[in-house]
Chain A
Amino acid sequence: MTARALDLVLAALLAALVFLFGAAARALEYPGRVLPAVLLAALALLSGALAAGAVRSGPGGRGRPFAGVRKRRVAGMVAGSAAYLAAVPWLGFYVSSLVFLLAGAMGLTGAWRRPRQAARVALMFAAVVVVIYATFWLFLKVPTPPGVLL
């Protein structure tokens, strides 16, 4: 997708956002509605300016912002992180963190294909989780998301 097309998509998304928030802002009282109203008006104008700029720039576009991006790795990281967050209430924070760290590191480096490197990565991240547990839970007493297991 070209930068021009992305600008048009962004302008459309902003227009939808203005519509959504604008509908919700109608029920607000004075003076609480003043700032949202000003912001929504500004966003409407700016999205118009963005769309106009994109249209004016011509069909050639201005490069492809996602060129060179390893999309599968990025999508994998987003999906993996979402699965990790979903697993925390069931596995517990520390168990799910260990699973995420191992799966993420091995998946991104390809270490799972080499048993010796995989073992080293597993040991390293087990130590990382122990350090995180000792630092946050035992020493600083910082709360972590609760779960059924540890």
Chain B
Amino acid sequence: MDWQFGQHVWTGLVTALQPFNLLLMVAGLAGGIVVGILPGLTATMGVALMVPLTFGLEPVSGLIMLGAIYCGAIYGGSNSACLINTPGTPSSVATTFDGFPMTRQGRAYEALLTSLLASVIGGIVGTLFLLFLAGPLARIALRFGPPEFFWLAVFGLTTIGSLGTGSVVKGLIAGALGLLLGCIGLDPIAGKPRFTFGYYPLVQGIELIPAMIGLFSFSQVLRLVEGEQQLVGEFQRRPGALAAVARELWTRCRGVLLRSSLIGTFVGILPGAGGEIASIIAYNESRRWDRNPRRFGTGVIEGVASSESANNAVIGGALIPLLTLGIPGSAPAAVLMGGLLAHGLRPGSKLFAENGDVAYGFIVSLLVANLLMLLVGYLLIQGTVRVLNVPTPYVAVTVVVLSVIGSYAIRNSVLDVAVMFVLGVAAYLGSKVGIDPGPVALGLILAPIVEEGLGQSLLLAQAEGSLAAVFLLRPVAALLVVLTVLSVLTPAWLNRRRGGAPLAVEGGAGE
């Protein structure tokens, strides 16, 4: 850490703390959170929508605003995930697993505050890695080729058995169905259509966002109208709740937060792997290392904390290859790269040498934005939590309209709206027989990475004449294989060591 680095950080801090830049951060955070809350409007879309607005600003101010939108949107997705079981962004899928059960138990406020604090902590950890370890971490990311991505996705898939209602067989069926849905459309290697059954529009494949809106939002609408309940949940504001949640996170979730933030940062560095994968892996790891893994999915703050800290840590991680190598680590980071280029800045190692004031101003502003998110997020929670006081029928019909907008907006396709509707009805019926939407979404999220990694690795193996050399003997791939095997075996091992009953493997509904 030399004197010049310290001077750059100090200059960055002074830039970030200018009143105009603070104002831009507050506006960006508020806008980002609102975009994140609305199902179908992703962080990528939020950043892309605001890029033209930054053209009239100084480059550093424009980037500060875009960074704040990115942070706000990733966090915002957790609000709808906790309140109405609808992840606002794909990164919040894992937040629904425990966030919504907390709401059903009358602990919505606690769930929202947990997600806010965990997001802030994850965001800060990711940004600190970006600030201090960007170079070495970017070099590690370069060691990831197709076999490593394949094994990373398989590692993520090991979560499937632990998600859902308790039947491993049904969890695996759901995951396989998600992966199969992900195979519809163009073959990523040969570029030929698959499983379109003569219906040409299916060539574009099943888009993730409309599918997720169907799996979570529309199916939740049907669950809301099926019963007698008047309200989605019970909202009780407790004085001193923020301090109580902070205390609980500090005493019970320190390890969870640190581990999840590290996972988020590392996954964020990998191009093509974003918050949705990081949060699922972090959730699974928290569950795996917990003394009583069966608590997960019933409304524990550790579940919300792990998912939210991981997906916000991705932001710092995704910016590491972008700022040091010019390779975006996630879709919103790719749009940010467009913003950088539009302002005449070329991402890469020269950015720090030639435009250090802009680069460090931007990075330090992410730290400030994450701290400001505590205030902005807390104020917005006071409004969003009131959705629980709206009668269930009103919430249900409004969510249907928002679901149509969200599923159409991604690529202006009526097919996507139809996919949302069909998958929504299927997910509702499936949930009645124990096929939960979580593993289906996980399969759908991981399908492109599995498929591309596998296809390219098989071609590499064909060229090298050895499957083992490609899949097992590369150092990082071998490490991921070991981690995958451990991920499958450790729950049973830990369970046995703690003297618990063996995990259920049979496949019956209502078990």
Chain A residues within 8 Å of B, Cβ to Cβ: 3-4, 6-7, 10, 14, 17, 20-21, 24-25, 28-32, 34-36, 39-40, 42-43, 46-47, 49-50, 53-54, 57, 62-63, 65-66, 68-70, 73-74, 77-78, 81-82, 84-85, 88-89, 93, 97, 100-101, 104-105, 108-109, 124, 128, 132, 136, 140-145
Contacts and interface: CB of A to CB of B under 8 A. Distances in A.
Interface residues of B, number: 64
28 contacts: A3-B433, A3-B509, A7-B433, A24-B197, A31-B459, A32-B189, A32-B194, A34-B455, A35-B450, A36-B180, A36-B195, A39-B179, A53-B169, A68-B227, A69-B432, A74-B222, A77-B396, A78-B222, A85-B404, A85-B418, A85-B421, A93-B404, A97-B404, A101-B398, A105-B397, A108-B393, A144-B409, A145-B408
Interface of B: 35, 41, 45, 49, 169-170, 172-173, 176-177, 179-180, 183, 187-190, 192, 194-195, 197, 218, 221-222, 225-228, 391-394, 396-398, 400-402, 404-405, 408-409, 412, 414, 417-418, 421, 425, 428, 432-433, 435, 450-451, 454-455, 458-459, 506-511
User: Is chain B's interface secondary structure helix, strand, loop, or mixed overall?
Assistant: helix
Given A25-B194, A46-B173, A104-B400, 12 more contacts: A14-B173, A21-B195, A50-B170, A62-B511, A69-B227, A77-B221, A81-B218, A82-B421, A84-B404, A97-B401, A104-B393, A108-B393
Nearest to A46: B173
Given A28-B194, A31-B459, A143 B432 contact: no
Given A6-B433, A53-B507, A81 B41 contact: no
Given A32-B455, A81-B400, A142 B510 contact: no
Nearest to A47: B173
B425 to A, nearest CB: 6
A50 B450 contact: no
Nearest to B411: A143
B408 A32 contact: no
Contacts of A66: 432
B172 A70 contact: no
A6 B35 CA distance: 39
Contacts of B433: 3, 6-7, 10, 65
Contacts of B408: 143-145
A88 B418 CA distance: 12
A29 B195 CA distance: 13
A85 B421 CA distance: 9
Contacts of A50: 169-170, 173, 507
Contacts of A74: 222, 225-226, 428
Nearest to B195: A24
Q: Which of A39, A54, A69 has the most CB of B within 10 A?
A: A39
Contacts of A85: 404, 417-418, 421
Given A6-B433, A29-B190, A54-B508, A143 B409 contact: yes
B180 A100 contact: no
B169 A39 contact: no
A79 B408 CA distance: 20
Contacts of A20: 197
Contacts of B195: 21, 24-25, 36
Given A3-B510, A43-B176, A35 B454 contact: yes
Nearest to A76: B225
Given A28-B194, A36-B180, A73-B225, A7 B507 contact: yes
Contact of A39 (B45, B183, B187, B509): B183
A144 B416 CA distance: 12
Contacts of B394: 105, 109, 124
Contacts of B225: 70, 73-74, 77, 108
A51 B505 CA distance: 14
Nearest to A65: B432
Given A81-B400, A85-B421, A53 B173 contact: no
A32 B401 contact: no
A127 B271 CA distance: 43
Contact of A32 (B190, B404, B412): B190
